[in-house]
Amino acid sequence: MKYLFGPVQSRRLGLSLGIDLVPHKTCTLNCIYCECGPTTLLTSEIREYVPTVEVLHEIDQYLSDRPVLDVITFSGSGEPTLHSRIGEIITHIKEAHAGYRVAVLTNGTLLWDARVRENLMNADIVIPSLDAINEETFRIVLRPHMNITPERMMEGLMQFGKDFKGRYILEVFIIPGINTSVEELTEIKNACSKIRHNEIHLNTLDRPGTVKWVKPASMEEMDEIEDFFRPLNVKVIGSPGMLEMNLISSGKSDDIISIIKRRPSTAEELNHITGIPMDELSRLLEKLEKSCVIKGEKLERGLFYRLF
């Protein structure tokens, strides 16, 4: 599969089939915490990045025997709302494969554009990010394309909240020392209060980000920030760890590359996800590392492999 990946067992969404609508790594932002590596195409141009007809073909093939899934999620190697025909793909799933829920993980930066809001209207769940409101922090953390500003992003997030009838979850990525001062958190909390939403999820780094100095917040810090956001409907999305993922996969090198391209992983996680026995997996990882396809990066939680 070229555009579909997984399914992955996600704690908040359940068993989730991923759809990737942009080439690695195409985004409106170049976030310092991004797990997919640095953005190579920083753009705000909305167009058909991958052929819709091929994506629909893969979806129809995969769903033809009605696999058990909790959700189909647009996410992956960049910003899915950059794809001009995401709305048609969502509508096709809802009409041709009724019964499946559709979620979109987005950075929210294009919601000011009425075409993008319209494209997402038929989704069941939309989860945009809201990591910074302050102009300087916005630029430090998100390193946006020049057309993207916090004002425009807020405008889009608020308007979409008014129009969208599905589940609207705001995700705040916590970076200790960057967006954790009382001033920063107050600005983010006030911004959340202005947006019609169902829930706020607090997230922090779980695997290697793009920039080395970015560190995860401790669970104590996350709990304190959760308290700070109350009485809003907020919860901490902790480290997903191994239990959150269970990719049903045929294994081997292509599967390993497909997984770590979207999410750096440890050998244990890859073993858990793909079912490839540990000794075989170690040999494959060594081979891929020697061929400069992947590289290991040591973090507190273990040795993570990512694309070279």
Binding residues (CB under 6 A) for ligand SF4: these are 27, 29-31, 34, 36, 39, 78-79, 107
Nearer to ligand SF4, 223 or 297 (CB): 297
Tell me how far, at minimum, the Cβ of 278 lies from ligand SF4, in Å: 30
Nearer to ligand SF4, 10 or 107 (CB): 107
Nearer to ligand SF4, 29 or 285 (CB): 29
Cβ(76)–Cβ(105) under 8 Å? no
Q: Give the DSSP H/E element, type plus range, for residue 53.
A: helix 52-63
CA dist., res. 52 & res. 29, Å (int) = 23
CA dist., res. 273 & res. 270, Å (int) = 5
Tell me how far, at minimum, the Cβ of 175 lies from ligand SF4, in Å: 12
Nearer to ligand SF4, 63 or 116 (CB): 116
Between the CA of residue 109 and those of 113, 142, 143, 158, 180, what are the distances in Å? 9, 10, 12, 12, 21
Tell me how far, at minimum, the Cβ of 31 lies from ligand SF4, in Å: 3
Nearer to ligand SF4, 9 or 75 (CB): 75
CA dist., res. 308 & res. 305, Å (int) = 9
**Is 100 strand, coil or helix?**
coil
**Tokens 């020049």 belong to residue:** 146
**Tokens 């893969």 belong to residue:** 58
CA dist., res. 295 & res. 292, Å (int) = 7
Cβ(3)–Cβ(50) under 8 Å? yes
Tell me how far, at minimum, the Cβ of 64 lies from ligand SF4, in Å: 30
Nearer to ligand SF4, 8 or 31 (CB): 31
Tell me how far, at minimum, the Cβ of 120 lies from ligand SF4, in Å: 16
Tell me how far, at minimum, the Cβ of 143 lies from ligand SF4, in Å: 8
